[in-house]
Amino acid sequence: MDRQKEFVLRTLEERDIRFVRLWFTDVLGYLKSVAIAPAELEGAFDEGVGFDGSAIEGFARVFESDMVAHPDPSTFQLLPWTSDSGRQYSARMFCDITMPDGSPAWASSRHVLRRQLGKAAEMGFACYVHPEIEFFLLEPGPYDGSTPVPADDAGYFDQSIHGSAANFRRHAIDALESMGISVEYSHHENAPGQQEIDLRYADALSMADNVMTFRYLIKEIALKEGVRASFMPKPFREHAGSAMHTHLSLFEGEVNAFHSPDDPLQLSDTAKSFIAGILEHANEISAVTNQWVNSYKRLIHGGEAPTAASWGASNRSALVRVPMYSPHKTSSRRIEVRSPDSACNPYLAFAVLLAAGLRGIEQGYELGPEAEDNVWALTPEERRAMGYKELPGTLERALSEMENSELVAEALGEEVFDFFLRNKRQEWANYRSHVTPYELQNYLAL
């Protein structure tokens, strides 16, 4: 038994942990969990924990349903929940999912991302990610389609006057950092009730695990604070939606492959080709980075979200932004992709962003001129004249672009690719058949 497994078993005994929660993520990004007793963990390390894969959305057909969850001891952390006596009583580990013969399960989100990171490693790169995660705090209420009520009336960088919201961020950060998830910043965002917490950069696989942990912790802590948290991309018509602006960089050993001292923006040729790859394949990957019907209510003109495939230095109206906070700091040269929302499957989203960027590097894509204008303010005709491709405005269009993408099919694997398309086409069909309050208000008198 290796040292990490020994550490886990010893910690469980010394801390008298009663429950070990084994986590994994389904294709759509929902967190799944099974709890085992500490006495069973050594056997789980050796043999895994079997489960019915056909009962998990997108995992397996009924005639091949046996799957095995193998806990990854490197992801072991104590959960921050305590008993009345103040003692922590549970821990979690993420799992790698395999078939009974030990081969990776095609539907494992971690495997999809790990496979893409393996390709990056073959090219000499390690990928690091730093997300800015936005979400809403809402007053308690039913999930019956009624309009939610924000937990406060504050705006950007305001010190919220709502006691729960102010305490919430402090408690959330304490919980995150107790689990080894470092936080760089937190603040109130533009819309009433909207919060942002930025996680410190980590390798892409660890960060995807961190994002899943983040969403779980945020919802649990919100309940304890008497509010509810939502990662819905666009819950309010009149307010900006919630993004997960994703900062990416590639390193070759200790060297930032995106940095060049000879370029005015300190961008290397590798970084420029990576950006060009994301711009070229932006429409194809949109259904993964923005996977819900509601995601495209955020990606609209005037909505403070990208609507065209453009790039720029410090330009928040562009799809890809080059942050210029520390222009001469070698390690901080990175890019920020502004389209993903905080309800995506982070494993799949990071995988397709990386795939698009690596394709640009592999094939030497040329990066066009940067956007120096407010892209949001340009008309569609002006955008076309400047060479900017319009991003998909609906899930249906995004799926059509994805369906014809060899890059996305390769990045996700054939089975995840096919399931994702089938599931999302059904979501679109269900949405199209739904009669909305808007239609009733405007057309019932006809």
Which residue type does 123 have?
M
Q: Would you state the CATH architecture of domain 3-105?
A: Roll (3.10)
21 is in an annotated binding site: no
> What is the distance between the alpha carbons of residues 258 and 97, in angstroms, rounded to a whole number?
33
DSSP letter assigned to residue 445: T
Residue 33 to residues 20, 26, 56, Cα–Cα distance (Å): 10, 11, 11
> What is the distance between the alpha carbons of residues 82 and 90, in angstroms, rounded to a whole number?
8
200 is in an annotated binding site: no
Q: By three-state DSSP, how is residue 77 classified?
A: strand
DSSP letter assigned to residue 341: B
* pLDDT at res. 62: 40
284 is in an annotated binding site: no
422 is in an annotated binding site: no
The beta-strand segments (E) located in 164-291 are 183-188, 194-199, 202-203, 228-230, 244-252, 255-256
Q: Considering only CA atoms, give the Rg of the chain.
A: 22
What is the full per-residue pLDDT of the chain (446 aa) written as tens digits?
699 999 999 999 999 999 999 999 999 999 999 999 999 999 999 999 998 777 676 565 443 467 899 999 999 999 999 988 889 999 999 999 998 899 998 889 999 999 999 999 999 999 999 999 999 999 998 888 889 999 998 888 887 555 566 689 999 999 999 999 999 999 999 999 999 999 999 999 999 999 999 999 999 999 999 999 999 999 999 999 999 999 999 999 999 999 999 999 999 999 999 999 999 999 999 999 999 999 999 998 766 799 999 999 988 889 999 998 776 778 889 999 999 999 999 999 999 999 999 999 999 999 999 988 888 888 778 888 888 899 999 999 999 999 999 999 999 999 999 999 999 999 999 999 999 999 999 999 99
* pLDDT at res. 435: 95
Nearest Cα to 228, choosing from 324, 327, 142, 345? 142
Nearest Cα to 49, choosing from 69, 33, 78? 69
169 is in an annotated binding site: no
336 is in an annotated binding site: yes
Nearest Cα to 392, choosing from 438, 339, 341, 328? 339
Domain residue spans of the chain: 3-105, 115-131+196-203+234-441
Q: Does domain 115-131+196-203+234-441 have CATH number 3.30.590.10?
A: yes
Token pair of 209 as six digits:
């695990």
249 is in an annotated binding site: yes
134 is in an annotated binding site: yes
196 is in an annotated binding site: yes
Token pair of 395 as six digits:
């899930």
pLDDT tens sequence across 53-82: 776 765 654 434 678 999 999 999 999 999
132 is in an annotated binding site: yes
pLDDT tens sequence across 282-293: 999 999 999 999
